[in-house]
């Protein structure tokens, strides 16, 4: 395989392969340029098809291998239905960003980065993905990307990142620990499968060239598909294949990337015992009470300054080097927490800005029709820190706030109350909690509502 499948080729293929009761294709949304966001469901019609899996790809239009791998998976199952286990209900969204795919670019038709739109859900493509995810409530969800192997700091050393296929799990502290642990087991268990097929595989990591630059597994952000869908109660993953974007023909090795992907997609369908266990765990996570505290400041660190090794490829020889480094940050640290409130109160003047977000996230709220007295914790906004934080190696737009003492206050009519005894309470926290170091107020439309020295529009209600 040396050429990626286009939007037109994909839609023609899906139309041809669709078969009522076995392979169904539905339109779940329209892009800014009028293209369809498609969902493919594969299901052998068994009453036992309880294990729901959602694989989605190409949020970034120029990252193609996941989509191509999903299409070959559909072709394989169409030709050999027995390869799809009877208890699996398989959903695929192979091309989430067709406008970007057609333009060979990362962003969607409105210039937005879809994998940074999971808090606001302002784009039709991410809205479609979340509607689908809430409707089917998958037990396994997988986001699919490609990372560049041409980064400047590696090249300066004569290296390229080693792996061609990588995977990592959702890791946000609001996701019950047993789900994260089960997902990380699956990440580790993929290694021998990829090795057997001859593909360089590692847990996905971000960061610069070792040993001087920091490397860390994925991120802890909630504004992406992996943690966004993981919070709904699913074993949630990101797969990233490595591309030499600057090679003469970046798709010369597309076949290998697609094969690496296919191995992981098949691996995550598991065997019967694994599927039964994961279904139990995911459904337990959905019933899990909220923790008493919410982690507000979370980052990667290296507990104890351990020395580990990072594999790199020497460009000139193709040899694999093992580089010792103490800058591999493999431990998640919680640096700040606040008590979990019973609800959030959104002031009436900000309701119009918040309602589209609440709707897109599928959250429930109540609009006060008369004033109500409540025990409230207001949060004063101090500043937005713009520069990259060298000390904690974190991005810009940190929200520095000050919690006020709890007080009995009158909430005027028109105030929105978002209770946390709802199904998607963890998602509500990720979107609304005003004490999060990274949250809404770094985003356009909300940035303007945060004035230094003034209270934020969202208060914590007890």
What are the residues binding Zn ion (CB under 5 A)? Answer: 60, 63, 145
- Give min distance, CB of 145 to Zn ion, in A: 3
Distance, in Å, from the CA atom of 456 to the CA atom of 437, rounded to the nearest integer, reads 14
Taking residue 87's Cβ as centre, other Cβ atoms within 10 Å add up to 16
Name the residue nearer to Zn ion (CB basis): 115 or 296: 115
Q: Which residues, 6 or more positions from 391, have their beta carbon under 8 angstroms from its beta carbon?
A: none
Name the residue with the smallest CB distance to Zn ion: 145
Per DSSP, 421 falls in state S
Name the residue nearer to Zn ion (CB basis): 89 or 168: 168
- Give min distance, CB of 79 to Zn ion, in A: 30
Name the residue nearer to Zn ion (CB basis): 77 or 229: 229
Name the residue nearer to Zn ion (CB basis): 116 or 403: 116
Taking residue 40's Cβ as centre, other Cβ atoms within 10 Å add up to 22
- Give min distance, CB of 60 to Zn ion, in A: 4
Name the residue nearer to Zn ion (CB basis): 56 or 381: 56
By DSSP bridging, strand 165-169 and strand 201-203 are: parallel
Torsion angle, CA of 86/18/38/256, rounded to 10 degrees?
Answer: 70
Distance, in Å, from the CA atom of 259 to the CA atom of 199, rounded to the nearest integer, reads 9
Rg (CA), the chain: 23
Whether the CA torsion 421, 423, 346, 170 is positive or negative: it is positive
Q: Which residues, 6 or more positions from 390, have their beta carbon under 8 angstroms from its beta carbon?
A: none
Using CB atoms within 10 Å of the CB of residue 307, give its burial: 0 to 12 exposed, 13 to 18 middle, 19+ buried. exposed
- Give min distance, CB of 236 to Zn ion, in A: 15
The CA–CA distances, whole Å, from 195 to 166, 190, 264, 274 equal 12, 9, 12, 21
Name the residue nearer to Zn ion (CB basis): 63 or 377: 63
Distance, in Å, from the CA atom of 282 to the CA atom of 274, rounded to the nearest integer, reads 12
- Give min distance, CB of 395 to Zn ion, in A: 16
Name the residue nearer to Zn ion (CB basis): 67 or 145: 145
- Give min distance, CB of 260 to Zn ion, in A: 16
- Give min distance, CB of 379 to Zn ion, in A: 33
């Amino acid at each position: 395989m040396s050429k990626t499948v286009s939007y037109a080729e994909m839609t023609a293929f899906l139309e041809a392969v669709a078969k009522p009761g076995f392979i169904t294709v539905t339109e779940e949304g329209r892009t800014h340029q009028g293209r369809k966001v498609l969902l493919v469901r594969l299901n052998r019609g068994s009453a036992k098809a309880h294990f729901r899996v959602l694989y989605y790809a190409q949020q970034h239009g120029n990252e193609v291998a996941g989509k191509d791998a999903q299409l070959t998976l559909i072709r394989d199952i169409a030709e050999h239905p027995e390869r799809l286990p009877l208890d699996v209900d398989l959903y695929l969204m192979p091309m989430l960003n067709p406008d970007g795919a057609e333009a060979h670019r990362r962003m969607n038709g409105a210039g937005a980065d879809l994998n940074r739109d999971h808090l606001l859900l302002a784009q039709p493509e991410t809205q479609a993905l979340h509607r689908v995810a809430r409707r089917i409530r998958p037990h396994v969800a997988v986001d699919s990307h490609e990372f560049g192997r041409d980064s400047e700091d590696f090249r300066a050393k004569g290296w390229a990142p080693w792996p061609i296929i990588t995977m990592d799990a959702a890791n946000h502290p609001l996701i019950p620990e047993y789900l994260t642990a089960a997902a990380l087991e699956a990440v580790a268990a993929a290694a021998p499968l990829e090795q057997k097929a001859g593909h360089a595989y590692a847990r996905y990591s971000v960061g610069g060239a070792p040993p001087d630059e920091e490397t860390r597994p994925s991120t802890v952000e909630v504004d992406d598909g992996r943690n966004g869908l993981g919070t709904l109660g699913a074993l949630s993953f990101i797969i990233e294949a490595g591309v030499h974007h600057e090679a003469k023909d970046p798709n010369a090795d597309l076949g290998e990337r697609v094969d690496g992907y296919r191995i992981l997609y098949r691996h995550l369908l598991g065997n019967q015992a694994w599927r039964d266990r994961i279904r139990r765990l995911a459904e337990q996570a959905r019933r899990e009470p909220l923790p008493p505290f919410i982690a507000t400041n979370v980052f990667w660190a290296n507990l104890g300054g351990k020395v580990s090794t990072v594999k790199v490829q020497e460009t000139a020889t193709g040899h694999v080097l093992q580089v010792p480094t103490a800058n591999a940050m493999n431990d998640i640290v919680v640096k700040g927490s606040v008590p979990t409130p019973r609800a959030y109160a959104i002031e009436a003047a900000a309701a119009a800005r918040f309602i589209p977000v609440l709707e897109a996230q599928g959250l429930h709220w109540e609009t006060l029709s008369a004033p109500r007295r409540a025990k409230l914790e207001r949060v004063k906004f101090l500043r937005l820190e713009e520069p990259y934080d060298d000390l904690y190696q974190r991005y810009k737009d940190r929200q520095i706030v000050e919690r006020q003492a709890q007080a009995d206050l009158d909430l005027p009519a028109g105030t929105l109350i978002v209770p946390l005894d709802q199904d998607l309470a963890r998602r509500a926290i990720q979107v609304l909690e005003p004490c999060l170091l990274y949250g809404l107020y770094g985003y356009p439309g909300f940035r303007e509502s945060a004035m230094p020295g003034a209270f934020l529009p969202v208060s914590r209600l007890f």
